[in-house]
């Protein structure tokens, strides 16, 4: 596709992943510690952030796995047709939303709704990845041409 090659689309997607991974950490905040607080009080205040930290780690690992999977798929791209960038951008749309349910789940981890929102986001992201794989494996698609029999 003229003007939008594999490298440009890959670089844009890498930038999106990097930005979202950075935004994830913004949900973590340093606890307000009273002047003259004891080490035990400081440890307790930090301990209150454990669920936020675990949610951050979960979100970061999820994004890392998706980024690696995306690169594994994108490795086989040789050229793209017009629908390819649209299919490609359906996945980052869900990545960009991930910091919100991650922070929500970290803060309200005992409630079902934040966990459900996080899970729905993961399912939507997984369906987008499946859509990209399905599109790339169509016999009439020349988005992912690998030199296999029947590919150009």
More confident residue, 42 or 150: 42
CA 90/CA 129 separation, integer angstroms: 9
Residue 147 lies in a domain: no
In a domain, 143, yes or no: no
CA distance 152 to 150: 7
Q: Residue 9's Cα: distance from chain center in Å? A: 16
Asked whether residue 145 is assigned to any structural domain, the reply reads no
Task: Indicate whether 44 belongs to any domain.
Answer: yes
Residue-by-residue DSSP string for the chain: -TT--HHHHHHHHHHHHHHHHHHHGGG--PPP--TT--HHHHHHHHHTTHHHHHHHHHHHHHHHHHHHHHHHHHTT-----TTHHHHHHHHHHHHHHTHHHHHHHHHSTTSHHHHHHHHHHHHHHHHHHHHHHHHHT-TT--SS--S-TT--
Range of the domain at 29: 6-136
Residue with tokens 């299919």: 87
State how many domains the chain has. Answer: 1
Kindly state whether residue 48 falls inside one of the protein's structural domains: yes
For the ranges 8-17, 71-80, 107-116, 124-133, the lowest mean pLDDT is seen at: 71-80
The confidence score (pLDDT) of residue 67 equals 87
Tell me if 51 sits within 8 A of 106, measured CB to CB. yes
Q: Give yes or no for a contact between 88 and 64, defined as CB atoms under 8 angstroms apart.
A: no
Residue 23 forms part of a structural domain:
yes
Q: How confident is the model over 50-64, as a mean pLDDT?
A: 92
pLDDT of 92-144, one tens digit each?
A: 677 788 899 999 998 898 899 999 999 998 888 888 878 777 766 665 554 44
């Amino acid at each position: 596709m003229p003007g939008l090659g594999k490298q440009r689309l890959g670089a844009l997607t890498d930038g999106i992943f990097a930005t979202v991974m950075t935004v994830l950490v913004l949900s973590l905040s340093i606890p307000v510690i009273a002047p003259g607080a004891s080490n035990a009080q400081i440890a307790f205040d930090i301990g209150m952030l454990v669920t936020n930290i675990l949610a951050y780690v979960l979100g970061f690992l999820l994004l890392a796995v998706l980024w690696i999977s995306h690169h594994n798929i994108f490795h086989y791209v040789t050229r793209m047709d017009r629908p390819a960038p649209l299919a490609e951008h359906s996945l980052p749309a869900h990545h960009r939303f991930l910091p919100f349910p991650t922070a929500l789940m970290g803060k309200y981890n005992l409630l079902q709704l934040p966990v459900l929102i996080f899970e729905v986001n993961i399912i939507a992201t997984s369906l987008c990845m499946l859509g990209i794989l399905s599109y790339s494996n169509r016999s009439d698609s020349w988005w992912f041409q690998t030199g296999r029999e029947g590919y150009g």
